Chain A
């Protein structure tokens, strides 16, 4: 039997709701039942991982998706659903998300949602349910970028020592020293090893306080006691609370020109 585009679809429209907060999930479900009685809620997922499973199992036409969920985030679920289901984001206010949704012309509903707003969304969904779902990759990339741009500098570091987790606040750090792929975090009393390369650290440290003075050394300038120069003009940094001195390699010597 051939079906033309003008004919009403025979299969009911299936929707998946992914929302970890049961109260709000029920509310959305009830409101949708009132606005769109023909819609079949094929599954409800309480976390991101469930949502991914249900997405594969039920191949829903519409996906109502919370962004902040346990397991894996709504954005990750949206990535899998991109091009396969019409996605409506359901989220409490988030300035990055809302800006991106507006720009990417993606359907979204804000919690606590306004039933009229949801009715509009339902109307739009009905209108395009038979067309191919949008590809969300561009939008998601923009969203990930925007959320990443609010990045802040490191304020503390934890280093495990057996059962103990040592908390080191960034102000306590005298310097960081590369040690193969790890980094030594040196404070006035102790050295601790963390399993992060120094390169990764250097991007997340406040450059006004932490200066790289050598390929393998980043020093906290608040802990510098003085700079000394040997007869060959090589600089080394003396620290207030540590006895060792740190050599400054030539490419970084300009940092101390004024001192």
Chain B
């Protein structure tokens, strides 16, 4: 489907406007723009200054037995230098915009371009030298051998490529710093979010009401509730300062939360955890499972009078760990969400693992939602952020 034009009232008008500018003209303008990209006045200036110096050397060739110093001979020298060097520079600068981006093929292509530029420059120079035949200008060394001109072209190219490499390295350093900043930002957002749901007054006071009641009627259940609550309240904080913890450890937190909700919701909540032992050692970013479980209960099961079931399943294969949290709740009622939980999980996975980390949502059968996190399988201690 073509989305480039809106389909509302002024469609026709916009189409006319687009059609009235010839597309070939736009294409030519774009092409020219691309050609001269990177061809700054500063760079042209550097070449001109170089030519000016070289021209001075030419007009002061000691083999001539000292001066004729005159403005005229100097200008002639300059003309020779400009006509031979500028073409090399221009051809390389334009070609650089079309050359492959990777460094090795780029060097080869640009090397060939220098040869082409040298041929052009040498040809122009011979024309100028021919025109200057009657004047007192000693032909420069590179006029006798195009190899000299070629050498100068290659020196210029090497400088350019080195400059490019420095720029790329600087960019990489900058991006790494950005990446670290972004990770820090995502982590503190996750931290804040967990803190918020932990100390959400409604959740906290409600849980306390249960603790009080249970201590009167069923002290054992009361102690269990207290244990879940303090585990949930305390564990999240140190865990969150790490970029990853063991899956088993992270599950404890989710189970503590499920324990609290189980006491509140009674028979309305059932849960099941299917995590093989070998997967418990795998590293995961902290709190993601709890966030998904919270989502399942808050948005999936809580609104349903009959409640439902939450299932946490983990599977480990050679390269990846997949953890899914599914519920039999009411499913996504709205296609728009304001919760930061899901967005934060996706962002954190992106920052930590790039394309190999993933959060996906699926419709659970017969109803509800399944959220799955895939992370690269990693074990042992991982450096902390």
Contact = CB atoms under 8 A, between A and B. Distances in A.
Given A70-B304, A92-B202, A194 B210 contact: no
Given A111-B206, A165-B363, A155 B17 contact: no
Contacts, number: 168
Given A154-B336, A246-B4, A170 B343 contact: yes
B353 interface: no
Contacts of B206: 21, 24, 92, 111
Which size class do B's interface residues fall under?
Answer: 35 or more
B6 A165 contact: no
B4 A151 contact: no
A165 B205 contact: no
A230 B8 CA distance: 21
Contacts of B6: 177-178, 214-217, 247, 249
Nearest to A169: B343
A16 B209 CA distance: 20
Nearest to A47: B305
B264 A21 contact: yes
Interface stretch (A74-82, A139-147, A156-164): A156-164
A156 B337 contact: yes
A244 B5 CA distance: 9
A218 B94 CA distance: 37
B362 interface: yes
B271 interface: no
Interface in A217-242: 217, 230-232, 234
Given A21-B264, A155-B343, A165-B332, A178 B202 contact: no
Contact of A70 (B17, B303, B359): B303
Interface in A115-135: none
Contacts of B209: 23-24, 27, 92, 111-113
B9 interface: yes
Contacts of B383: none
Residue of A178, A216, A247 most packed against chain B (CB within 10 A): A247
A112 B212 contact: yes
A45 B7 CA distance: 51
Interface in B111-147: none
B307 A153 contact: no
Mostly helix, strand, loop or mixed at chain A's interface?
mixed
Contacts of A68: 202, 302
B304 A244 contact: no
A196 B334 CA distance: 10
B351 to A, nearest CB: 12
Interface of B: 1-10, 14, 17-18, 20-21, 201-206, 208-210, 212-214, 216-217, 263-266, 268, 302-305, 307, 332, 335-340, 342-343, 346-347, 359-363, 369
Given A71-B305, A230-B17, 20 more contacts: A21-B206, A24-B210, A27-B209, A94-B201, A110-B205, A112-B208, A156-B336, A156-B346, A158-B335, A158-B361, A177-B3, A179-B7, A191-B1, A195-B335, A215-B6, A215-B10, A231-B21, A234-B14, A244-B2, A249-B14
Interface of A: 20-24, 26-27, 46-50, 68, 70-71, 91-95, 110-113, 151-160, 163-167, 169-171, 177-179, 184, 186, 191, 194-196, 201, 204, 214-217, 230-232, 234, 244-247, 249
8 contacts: A27-B213, A50-B305, A112-B208, A156-B336, A158-B335, A165-B361, A179-B7, A201-B336
